[in-house]
Structure formats: C-alpha cells, structure tokens
Amino acid sequence: MQSGRQLGLPDAVTETSTPTALALGANRGPCRETLRAAADILATVVDGMSLGGLYRSPPEAGGSQPDYWNSALIGLTRLGPEELLAFAKALERLAGRGPAPRNAPRPLDVDLLLWGREVRDEPALTLPHPRMAGRAFVLAPLADVAPQWRIPGLDRTVEELLRRADTTGLRRVSWNERG
C-alpha cells in the first residue's frame, strides 16, 4: 500500500489511518460555497486533508443543465470505506440532495474514489470508483494533490490517467469565483 508520506500527506495519525481520496461536485445552488463547506466538514474525518483546484465542466448528460463545479481531496482517515461513504451520503443530504434520476442537477455529489489500495466490486461500494479513470473533471483536481497515486487495478497514476482523458470543456477556475 502506498503510504501517506508517498502521497504527500503527513505521517499517519494512527496505525489504522488509511489514505483516501474523494471527489466533490455540484451544479445547483451556490456551488463554490457548497464545495468549500463540504470540504471543511470532511476535514473532521479526513486528517491532513489537501484540497485540489476548482474546475468547471459541462454536465456529462449534456442538455440544458448548468456546468458542474468539481474538486477532489485527499487525506488520511480512520473510518472504514463503508463508514466514509455513509458520511459522504449524509453530507449530500445535509446539502439538500434528495432522490433524483442519474445525472440530474444536484447541490452536492461526494464520491469515494480511493481508500488505500482497496479493490472491491460490490453493489453498495466499488473501489476504486468505477468511472474515475475516464473523467477529467475528477482526475484534474485529484492530480493537483496526488498526481503519483497509483490506482489499484489499473496500475497507472492519476497523472497518467489525466493525460489520456478527454479534457474538452474542462477549465480551472478560482476558488473565489462566484457560482
């Protein structure tokens, strides 16, 4: 397993801390503010957190939806992957997300991308995240904070995957921009 130090994180807080990566996205409401608040709350369960840049991109589903605002963060967590995912889903509900069709506009989307070197394919949790490898809007902010993180099962780094991804429409924006 890659250590927190290899990923540019502080030394592990405890023997049970695990490097983790999460993606944040929103395209409804005050997106920048919502993503910043979500990162602040996630910092309560992700030690030594590093937050990637902020990016805007057109929605995957196309249509007349507003652009998505995206970021990613890494750090060390004492939570197991199921607990961290449950925390992320509770955070989404706190931000006002309710049941909706896939790819519908949302006030907050938090995806568990990586939890150490864990690989699993279960109905409730797939690690690494099954669609992260082709999503520039996930890879770009993740590459800001963990370019050399080797993705389990793919044997490629975040940076290598980003070089292969379609970055059409992806643009970095300031964390101070309104939206």
What residues are labeled active site? 97, 106, 109, 111
> Which of 131, 130, 84 has its CA nearest to residue 110?
84
HSE value, Cβ hemisphere, 13 Å, CA-based, for 66: 14
Task: Specify the amino acid at residue 46.
Answer: V
DSSP 29-60: SSHHHHHHHHHHHHTTTSEEEEE--EEEE--T
- Do 113 and 138 contact (CB within 8 A), yes or no? yes
Phi, psi of 8 (to 5 degrees): 85, 20
CA 86 vs. chain centroid, Å, equals 15
